[in-house]
Structure formats: structure tokens, C-alpha cells
Amino acid sequence: MNPTQAPASPATEVQLRVRGMHCASCVSSVERALERVPHVGQATVSLVDEMARVSGAGAPLVVDDLVAAVETAGYEAEPMADPRAVLESARARDVEREAETRALFRRFRVGLLLGLPVVVIGHWEMIPGLPELSTPARVAAWRLSLLLTVPILLFVGGAFFTGAWAAFQRRTSNMDTLIALGTGSAFVYSTAVVLAPGLFPAGTGRPFFEAVAVVITLVVLGQALEARAKGTTSKALRALFDLSPETAVRVADGGHEEVPVESVRVGDRLLIRPGSRVPVDGIVVEGRSDVDESMVTGESMPVLKESGDPVVGGTINGAGALTMEAERVGSETLLARIGDTVQKAQGSKLPIQRAVDVVASYFVPAVVAVAAIAFGVWLRLGPEPALNYAVVVAVSVLVIACPCALGLATPISIMIAMGKAAS
């Protein structure tokens, strides 16, 4: 079994790391999937730190059932057993997020490089100083735009289409649905104008490749900036967990042995060498030394510790050696409880945030319906060329209505505030 995973045994409260979410609609899908599992009282999912916190309703929860529910909804889930597992998961998530951020910025640069000439061609008549294009030259420019837009659609924006298809298979919708429908319909229409102009009345067909290029490139830029912002919000919490050492020196049979801090048990005697961190909470049984407790009390001056005095895990021993007896270990230490409190605060949802998630879950299908209605109205009642106007209006409705700002503004604000609190 992976050491970061919880056993498949009943529990009253479970934390899961959920991969694959990228908008408020995804959050709602995961929460609904978890709340359908028997004995689940409440499920709270955070998009920013990619964690789900599930509490039972009077009966134990089975971790495997929760993981299966998330995977059935189309996402990946990994149970977190203890604070150390959460820390290791956060570190792994940081590595993944850095790679994701680099990949997103790379896709943005490709979109920018290929999209600039597409935009220039699309707005040729509006740019001062450029010569007027003849009809053959205009058609050739449109075909060049088509060739440049294909890699933008497939490489830069390919993830939107795979995400939209996955959501369709789950009979749901998300941000990818809006982007894929908007840019896909604009691309299909524009390709028809360029390759099959006879389908349209003479002089009415005009491609919109620049809209496809700009929308995809800007959305990818937004995702890259979002990924970078997510990576900075949990640094304080990780720094808090990093205060706890990974190993402890246990006194046994007259000798010393270095053991993982997770293996320390209540009653164990531990040696705290000069300059090292106290591994767990306990009481001094031998020795005398000054201990820096500023991380707990804020007091800048070290505090003298001798036999009978309490010590807190994560504090720094001074020049003397101490022997302590462990009283609180694992998730019971003060440091772990502080971290758990901060995590719960970060994962909690204010009433307004719950309302936002509910709105976002219905937002995507509502936007698709509005776009379809707008297309029909402009096609029937709009001025000529009516089809051009109808496509532009429908695509505009789809691509500007993404609810990600709603779904991210509140949780990121809470994460930043709780990060400051952890500091």
C-alpha cells in the first residue's frame, strides 16, 4: 500500500486528494458524487487545494466507496491518512503544479506566436497603412489563417475538447463545454466559408479564425496564471508542517536509534540533541537547555527547559542536550492540530461560496441554452448576412460566460487569508 494512503477501513471523517478538477462545475460534480455515497453527512470540495473533506452521518465511512464514487464521476482520488500524508501530497502536488504551469505557459506562447498573424489577417482592413487585398489574396490569407488555427485548436486548446467530451460522457457540463462549443462552432463555420464558399450567398461569408485563436490563447493564459496563483497559496501551510522533523532519536536499551517520527509512541523516551527540533509534544525528564518557542508563542527569547517542563514539537533546542518523554504524537501534537485547523479553515465554505457553487453548477447548461436562443433569433430576425451575425453572437455568449471567476475568487481569497493565519 502507498504510505500516503489511508487503509480501506471505516472512518468518521475522510480527506481525499482529488485530481482533474478545473472549474466550479467540477467541484459540484465531485460533491454530488460523494454525497450520494451511503452514510455521508457532508462533502466539501476545494478547487484551490484539490482536497475533499467528507464527514459521516452517524455511521462509519468506507474509504474505498468514496474513492470509487469520485472515479465514477470522472476524476482521480487518493485518500490522505494523516498530516504527514497531507504534507507529502502537498509536495507532490507542488511538483505537478509547477509542471502544469510550465506546460500552460508553453501552450500560451505557441498560441501567441501562431495567433498574431491570424489576428492581423482577420482585422486587415482595420489596420492603418496596410494595402487593400484583392479577392484572390484575401482567400489565400484566409487559407493561411486556417492552417495556423489548426495547431492552436489541437495543441493549445486540445484539452478543452477532451475535457468537454469527458463531461459529455458523464452527462454533465463544465467550462470546457463552453469553450469547446464556442471555438469549435466558430472553426467549423469559418472552415466552411474558406473551403466551401458556394454554401453561402456571394459576399456574405466571412471566417472568424481570429476569434478561435484569441479565445483559446487568452483562456490558456488565464489557466496558467491561475495555476501559478494556486501554487503560492499553500506555502505557509507546508512551511508549518515542515517545522516538524522527519526523524527522532529514541533512547532504547541504553543506546540511541534514529527512527521516523511517525513510529514514535506515547511513553517513548527521545534524545533532543543541541540545535535540533523537538520531534513531538512531551515533557523533559533529563537535561537542561534553552528552547526557542517563538514558532508557538512569538516570544523571541529562548525559554529554559529542565526536568518536568513541557516541550512542544517543532520548537528548536539550544546548546544543551535534553531527554524527553513523548506525550502527544502524530495528529495529536500541537503543530499537527494547528495545521489541521488551518486546513479545515481553507477547505471550509462560506454560505456565499456554497451559493456560488450551486449557481455555477446550473450556469453552463443555462449559457448553452441562451446561446442557442440567441443564434436562432439573430438567424431569423437579424440583418444580412444573418448567419455571420448569428454565429458571432452565439460564440460570444459561450466564450465570455465562463463561471471560473465566480468559482475561484472566494476560495482563493480564503486560502490566502488562511495562509497568512498559518504564518
User: What is the C-alpha to C-alpha distance for residues 302 and 322, in angstroms, rounded to an integer?
Assistant: 15
| Residues listed for the chain | 423
> For residues 388-413, b (16+ Cβ closer than 10 Å) or e, as one string?
bebbbbbbbbbbebbbbebbbebbbe
Q: Is the peptide bond before 197 cis (omega within 30 degrees of 0)?
A: no
The radius of gyration of the chain's CA atoms, rounded to the nearest angstrom, is 28
SS3 breakdown of the chain: % helix, strand, coil, rounded to 5? 60, 15, 25
Question: Of 147, 127, 161, 140, whose CA–CA distance to 209 is shortest?
Answer: 147
246-329 belongs to CATH 3.30.420.40: no
Q: Which residues pair with 40 in a beta bridge?
A: 56
Domains 10-80 and 246-329 share a fold: no
Q: What is the DSSP string of 260-284?
A: EGGG--TT-EEEE-TTPBP-SEEEE
User: What is the C-alpha to C-alpha distance for residues 197 and 195, in angstroms, rounded to an integer?
Assistant: 6
Q: Checking phi first, is residue 223 left (phi over 0); if not, alpha (psi -120 to 50) or beta?
A: alpha
Q: Can you give the pLDDT of all 423 residues of the chain as single tens digits?
A: 344 444 444 557 888 888 888 777 788 888 888 988 888 888 888 877 788 888 887 777 888 889 999 988 888 888 876 555 666 666 677 777 788 889 999 999 999 999 999 999 888 877 787 777 777 888 899 999 999 999 999 999 999 898 888 888 877 777 788 888 888 888 988 898 888 887 766 666 788 899 899 889 988 887 787 777 666 656 666 676 777 888 899 998 778 888 988 888 998 999 999 999 999 999 999 999 999 988 778 788 899 999 999 999 889 999 999 999 999 988 788 887 877 776 666 655 556 656 655 666 677 788 889 989 999 999 898 888 788 788 878 877 876 765 555 545 555 565 566 556 555
User: What is the C-alpha to C-alpha distance for residues 407 and 35, in angstroms, rounded to an integer?
Assistant: 20
Question: Of 46, 354, 23, whose CA–CA distance to 164 is shortest?
Answer: 23
User: What is the C-alpha to C-alpha distance for residues 292 and 153, in angstroms, rounded to an integer?
Assistant: 57
Question: Of 222, 195, 221, 209, whose CA–CA distance to 120 is shortest?
Answer: 209
Amino acid residing at 402: C
**Helix, strand or coil for residue 39?**
coil
- Domains of the chain by residue range: 10-80, 90-236+342-422, 246-329
Amino acid residing at 289: S
User: Domain spanning 10-80 has what CATH number?
Assistant: 3.30.70.100
Helices assigned H by DSSP within 1-82: 24-35, 63-72
